[in-house]
A and B are shown apart, each in its own frame.
Chain A
């Protein structure tokens, strides 16, 4: 099945810094989503982005489907950005809603 790799596994930032999280996937996808899991365990969908670029406030994401990777940019980080960021994909030919998750990037933003 499709493999999803996220990097880095852990990241520590000072408040105000910028960061880039990467998601590589091993096959063509028809669905790619980025999620943020807060320290209390709640997962929030950040982006649905199987291709192209989207922005939402300080967050933006780019997926280059032909090269099988996606990037999540966090600018001017805040302590509330702390948590785990997951990339999840569904492979072409499979069920669009059947997501395969990466193992996540644990982000800690220090004041």
Chain B
């Protein structure tokens, strides 16, 4: 079974802090994604990556950056956390073949005070 893990289940940070959210998948998937989930808005794509060192902006990239130095790891970075970035963050991966099922991690609930 595909396993997608995220570094923290819950995280509390202060405004202005630099925040790293880590995601690791163990199935050699090419594609990885970061979403945020807010009540009433569903999931919105922040960034995605098709390969190592490649990244593309999603629908809401402002205030975020990403890093993919190794195929299995995709990091989301909040350079200077703000209260409006309080949210649930979900990482996903997919193999990029014709069967594009996305597998999700358990999520990180981030609170910025």
Chain A contact residues, CB within 8 Å of chain B: 1, 31, 33, 35, 40-45, 48, 86, 88, 90, 95-104
Does B44 lie within 8 Å of A97, measured CB to CB?
Answer: no
Pairwise interchain contact B100-A96, C-beta atoms closer than 8 A? yes
Residue on A nearest B30 in the bound complex, by CB: A97
- Some 19 contacts from A to B, beta carbons below 8 A apart, are A35-B104, A41-B107, A42-B104, A42-B106, A43-B92, A45-B103, A48-B100, A48-B101, A86-B43, A88-B102, A90-B100, A95-B56, A97-B33, A98-B45, A99-B45, A100-B59, A101-B42, A103-B40, A104-B42
Given A97-B31, A98-B58, check contact A42 B107 (CB 8 Å): yes
A88-B43 Cα distance, complex, nearest whole Å: 9
Within 8 A of A (CB), among B19-40: 31, 33, 35, 40
B96 contacts chain A at the CB level, 8 A cutoff: yes
Cβ contact within 8 Å between B48 and A97: yes
On whether the beta carbons of A98 and B42 are closer than 8 Å, the reply is no
For window 73-113 of B, CB contacts with A under 8 Å fall at 88, 90, 92, 94, 96, 99-104, 106-107, 109
Are B88 and A98 in touch, CB under 8 angstroms? no
Question: Do the beta carbons of A99 and B42 come within 8 Å of each other?
Answer: no
Asked whether B48 lies within 8 Å of A33 as measured between CB atoms, the reply is no
12 extra interchain contacts, Cβ-Cβ under 8 A, other than A35-B104, A45-B103, A99-B102?
A31-B100, A33-B101, A40-B106, A42-B106, A45-B104, A88-B102, A97-B96, A97-B100, A97-B102, A98-B58, A100-B59, A103-B41
